[in-house]
Amino acid sequence: MQKQRVKTSMSVPEMGKMLGLGKVESYWLVKKNYFKTIQVAGRMRVMLDSFEDWYAGQFHYKKVDGTPPGEKWRHTTMSVPEMADLLGLKSGTAYDLVKRGYFETILIDRRIRIITSSFEAWYQKQTHYVKISERSNENGIYREA
């Protein structure tokens, strides 16, 4: 009996199809050295482990199958729209809070991410904003936090 081989690499066109990209943009990602590549029989191949590591650390590109990007950052950070949804704010108000420097932020792929621990520390210190999950459904009266 033969053991089944575990796939460890994929072709650049295969990677492009996975991300819904064309030929030029696929090779542009390779040229930027985002992932480890090897040459097999004169053809360039992308290593799957380095591709998945890159995919988990970025937010710009999305897989066609619907797998969300940025898993590496989802547990420690949140986007500004996520924070707006959490507090029931409009996005403009949320961006204004970020601009005022209430939270510690980082920039990942040209996107602002709020450090969750700094958001929670700010939330505990202030009394004006209430999370949607802590609001009462009766006549807009708020529950004690």
Three-state DSSP class for 16?
helix
66, part of any domain? no
User: How many domains in the chain?
Assistant: 2
Q: Does residue 49 sit in the same domain as residue 80?
A: no
Give residue 2's pLDDT.
Answer: 73
Give residue 27's pLDDT.
Answer: 93
145, part of any domain? no
Give residue 11's pLDDT.
Answer: 93
- Check if the beta carbon of residue 78 is closer than 8 Å to that of residue 114: yes
Query: Residue 85 sits in which domain range?
Result: 75-132
Which candidate, 86, 84, 83, 54, places its Cα nearest to that of 71?
A: 54
Give residue 5's pLDDT.
Answer: 84
User: Tokens 């990209």 — which residue?
Assistant: 21
Q: pTM of this prediction?
A: 0.74
Q: Which residues pair with 37 in a beta bridge?
A: 46
139, part of any domain? no
Residue type at 93 in one-letter notation: T
Averages of pLDDT over runs of 10 residues in the chain (145 residues) are 83 94 93 92 92 92 90 92 93 94 91 94 92 72 52
User: Tokens 């949607």 — which residue?
Assistant: 132
59, part of any domain? no
> Alpha carbon 9 to chain centroid distance?
23
